[in-house]
Structure 1
Amino acid sequence: MNQSVMKALGLLNFFTETEVDLTLSELAQRSKLPKATVFRLLSSLEHMGFLVKSKHSDQNVRYRLGLKLLELGSLVADQLELRRVAQPMMKHLQSEINETIHLVIREGDEAVYIEKVESNHALRLYTRIGRRSPLSLGSGPQLLLAFLPEAEQQRIISGMSFRKFTNNTITKKSDLLEKIQRTKEQGFTLSYGEQDEGTIGFSYPVFDRTANVIAALSVSGPDTRLSGEHMEYAQRKAKETANEISKKLGYIKVTSTV
């Protein structure tokens, strides 16, 4: 483990409801670290926005927790709320279509699978909660990429390196851009065996109260099952479920009157 990171994060634990600001000396005394070390760690935390320094005088310089922690805390709270709202609806969807359901979010330049409800079939896909994926691979990650602001989207795509898993894996930026455009036009994403041969995945957006796409609700399974009427039914039910999750999160769809 990185000792400097652990020491820096350890300093944050000394701030409490009753001691909202502390001096360098107080933090050095409580952490039992040299003042020079504590000063260096505090400077890094301040630079990152985790701490704010208030200089009342040359002899009275105090530190308090920064807004970056509130921002990160809000993200965690949003994810917990998302999972709490989505899980029972995902279970209901699984009971209707009996395919594997995933909830996928974006974290940085990757997609992360944060919830899963498995199908009851003997033949199913191996996935796990916590799995990370490039935003170019599979219906859920691609949907999240498609609904990003264009500047952020272009930044991520420009830095991508593509790995081929199957003959259907997207390995060209031009093909990915075409898929993104198609996703935005139709409002969902389809993936045919891009990571595993003989599979199909499709995803619909989950919106928050500010009308931003915060997750993808994904359904996946073997192409021997997801076809014909069952495919149409599964897609319809998945779309309905994604819409219901969005409503529970406070999203209100605005329809044009023109």
Structure 2
Amino acid sequence: MDMTVEGGSLKRGVLLLKILASAGMRGLALTEIAARAALPHPSAHRVLRQLVQERLADHDGETRRYRLGPLAFELGVASSMMYDIRDLCEPAMAALAKQTEDTIYLVVRSGFDAVCMHCHEGSFPIKTLVLDVGSRRPLGIGAGGLAILSAVPLEEQAHIIERIAPSLDRYRNLTVEDLAAACAQAREARMAVIRNRLNLGVSAVGLPLRNAAGQPVAALSVAAMSQRVTTRRIPMLADQLRAAVAQAETALRWAGV
């Protein structure tokens, strides 16, 4: 790929990849990409053409929109095999469990689902083990999945909710409208709060984890008995979560994830 560092083309290519990474499955038109990158149309088009040639970007001839290409996915898979996100997040999770004394969960996005990757128990005598490592459920159902879903672009969010709609009634008759409202509330509050949705008497607070491209690829959450997740305590849990998320995201960036 002819992207010279001297001419700045490599930096432009990385910038456009980051923009495409935040665009979701539908992608973006050339005009939108050029505007976000603050580049002239011919320059953006030239770099995009190079990215398409190298399979880092994909161009839909019908919609004339660009999105991430298959090589970007393949590189992401290779990176995930080199760096175990559980190991990278473990120090932050351990510190958070010690602070809160509650159960800390790490979930990662897998398509339209949130998969539990790791769990760290706190010292509080009554445990809230509501997720098994390796289990999966639709995005938006638990606090971690809701944190991820509320952080994706609105157009992609609507598409995800549409795709998972048939399975929502299994979760206490949750509706599409309920989930969309929960996403809006989480986005406004900058945190996801779940009360008694999956297990009576259990509440949780979650925040998204973003990769180097700014995509919400995972989430950390604190789960506890509902009596412990009081209106007064939620802001403190959110602050503790933000510190843990910042620590985990730093570890991810250092590892190149």
TM bin (shorter chain)? 0.5 to 0.7
Q: Is the 8 A contact 2:191 2:238 kept in 1?
A: no
**Is 1:140 the counterpart of 2:137 in the alignment?**
no
Residues 181 and 231 of structure 1, relative CA distance in 2, 3 Å threshold: closer
Higher helix share: 2
Residues 172 and 85 of structure 1, relative CA distance in 2, 3 Å threshold: same
**Is 1:74 the counterpart of 2:79 in the alignment?**
yes
Q: Is the 8 A contact 2:194 2:204 kept in 1?
A: yes
Residues 165 and 158 of structure 1, relative CA distance in 2, 3 Å threshold: closer
Structure 2 unaligned regions, length at least 5: 1-54, 56-69
Aligned to 1:112: 115
Q: Is the 8 A contact 1:187 1:205 kept in 2?
A: no
1:72 shift after superposition:
2.6
Between the aligned partners of 1:76 and 1:146, the Cα distance in structure 2 is 27
Between the aligned partners of 2:177 and 2:231, the Cα distance in structure 1 is 30
Q: Is the 8 A contact 2:139 2:145 kept in 1?
A: yes
Q: Which amino acid aligns with 1:189?
A: A
Q: Which amino acid aligns with 2:188?
A: E
Cα RMSD, aligned residues only = 2.4
1:229 shift after superposition:
5.0
**Is 1:163 the counterpart of 2:169 in the alignment?**
yes
Between the aligned partners of 2:80 and 2:136, the Cα distance in structure 1 is 18
Q: Which amino acid aligns with 1:140?
A: G
Aligned to 2:15: none
Aligned to 1:96: 99
Deviations 1:166-223 (A, max 9, x none): 4xx6x11112111112222222100011000111101012122222212111000101
Aligned to 2:240: 237
Aligned to 1:17: none
Count of residue correspondences? 182
Between the aligned partners of 1:231 and 1:179, the Cα distance in structure 2 is 16
Q: If you compute each CA radius of gyration, which structure gives the higher value, 1 or 2? A: 1
Q: Which amino acid aligns with 2:158?
A: Q
Percentage identity across paired residues of the two chains: 22
Moved more, 237-246 or 144-153: 144-153
Deviations 1:91-123 (A, max 9, x none): 011111100001111101110011110122332
Between the aligned partners of 2:246 and 2:237, the Cα distance in structure 1 is 14
1:149 shift after superposition:
2.9
Between the aligned partners of 1:157 and 1:231, the Cα distance in structure 2 is 26
Between the aligned partners of 1:228 and 1:185, the Cα distance in structure 2 is 16
Aligned to 2:21: none
Between the aligned partners of 1:226 and 1:149, the Cα distance in structure 2 is 29
Between the aligned partners of 2:121 and 2:245, the Cα distance in structure 1 is 17
Aligned to 2:125, what secondary structure does the other structure show? coil
Between the aligned partners of 2:205 and 2:187, the Cα distance in structure 1 is 14
Q: Which amino acid aligns with 2:104?
A: I
Aligned to 2:135: 131
Q: Is the 8 A contact 2:116 2:136 kept in 1?
A: yes
Question: Taking structure 2 as the reference length, what is the TM-score of the superposition?
Answer: 0.64
Aligned to 1:137, what secondary structure does the other structure show? coil
Aligned to 2:194: 191
| Aligned with residue 227 of structure 2, among 224, 227, 231 | 224
Q: Which amino acid aligns with 1:185?
A: E
Q: Is the 8 A contact 1:165 1:196 kept in 2?
A: no
Q: Is the 8 A contact 2:191 2:206 kept in 1?
A: yes
Question: Taking structure 1 as the reference length, what is the TM-score of the superposition?
Answer: 0.63
Structure 1 unaligned regions, length at least 5: 1-48, 50-65, 252-258
